């Protein structure tokens, strides 16, 4: 069993403008600070024709008690993003691990131009918890937290 997230965020920016934003280390640092990370360590940030980003993050866990027993009060996240050009837009393979925890998130992000200065940011993710009996509940909690984080990221990107 797993939970899937699919959403499309509308941007008043060209795909190339979004690509330029993603290529900025200042953007990466500011984004994770705005998301409320306790700590962020950018392990890899290779840019150019492709972007390879690996970030180790510690985030507060705003979870119900049953989930805190599994996940803890804070969570270490290892997030890997590999962005490449795809036609007139960009695509990312996303892998998120929670070291020592029975949870992972995988997905695909796409930036697609919809006009000269507008783009869609398409998010498709799958959340998978390998915990007997309560895995589905844990996936639901993480889905809610992930959606809240995506909302914060979208708001930050609009500034």
Taking only the tens place, the pLDDT of each residue in 94-146 is: 999 999 999 999 999 999 999 999 999 999 999 999 988 889 999 999 999 99
**Regarding predicted confidence, which is higher, 15 or 72?**
15
Residue 156 has pLDDT above 90, yes or no: yes
Q: Do 52 and 46 meet the contact criterion of CB atoms below 8 Å apart? A: yes
DSSP 8-state secondary structure symbol assigned to residue 73: S
**Band of residue 72 on the pLDDT scale cut at 50, 70, 90:** confident
Q: What does the pLDDT read at residue 23?
A: 96
Residues 15-24 have a mean pLDDT of 97
How far apart are the C-alpha atoms of 143 and 128, rounded to whole Å?
A: 10
CATH number at residue 83: 3.30.530.20
How far apart are the C-alpha atoms of 109 and 15, rounded to whole Å?
A: 13
**Band of residue 80 on the pLDDT scale cut at 50, 70, 90:** very high
Q: What does the pLDDT read at residue 127?
A: 98
Residues 18-33 have a mean pLDDT of 97
How far apart are the C-alpha atoms of 24 and 9, rounded to whole Å?
A: 20
How far apart are the C-alpha atoms of 94 and 25, rounded to whole Å?
A: 18
Residue 159 has pLDDT above 90, yes or no: no
Total number of domains in the chain: 1
Coil, helix or strand at residue 132:
coil
**Band of residue 69 on the pLDDT scale cut at 50, 70, 90:** confident
Report the sign of the C-alpha dihedral through residues 24, 106, 142, 144, in that order: positive
Residue 53 is part of which domain span?
Answer: 3-158
Residue 67 has pLDDT above 90, yes or no: no
Q: What does the pLDDT read at residue 41?
A: 98
């Amino acid at each position: 069993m797993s939970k899937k997230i699919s959403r499309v965020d509308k941007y008043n920016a060209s795909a190339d403008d979004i690509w330029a934003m993603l290529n900025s280390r200042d953007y990466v640092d500011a984004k994770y600070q705005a998301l409320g990370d306790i700590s962020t360590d950018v392990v890899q940030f290779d840019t150019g024709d492709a972007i390879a980003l690996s970030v180790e993050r510690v985030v507060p866990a705003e979870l119900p008690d049953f989930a805190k027993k599994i996940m803890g009060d804070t969570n270490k996240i290892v997030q890997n993003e590999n962005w490449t050009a795809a036609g007139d837009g960009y695509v990312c393979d996303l892998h998120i691990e929670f070291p020592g925890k029975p949870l992972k998130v995988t997905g695909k992000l796409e930036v697609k131009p919809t006009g000269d200065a507008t783009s869609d940011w398409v998010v498709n993710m799958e959340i998978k918890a390998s915990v007997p009996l309560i895995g589905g509940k844990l996936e639901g909690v993480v889905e809610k937290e992930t959606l809240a984080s995506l909302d914060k990221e979208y708001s930050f990107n609009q500034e």
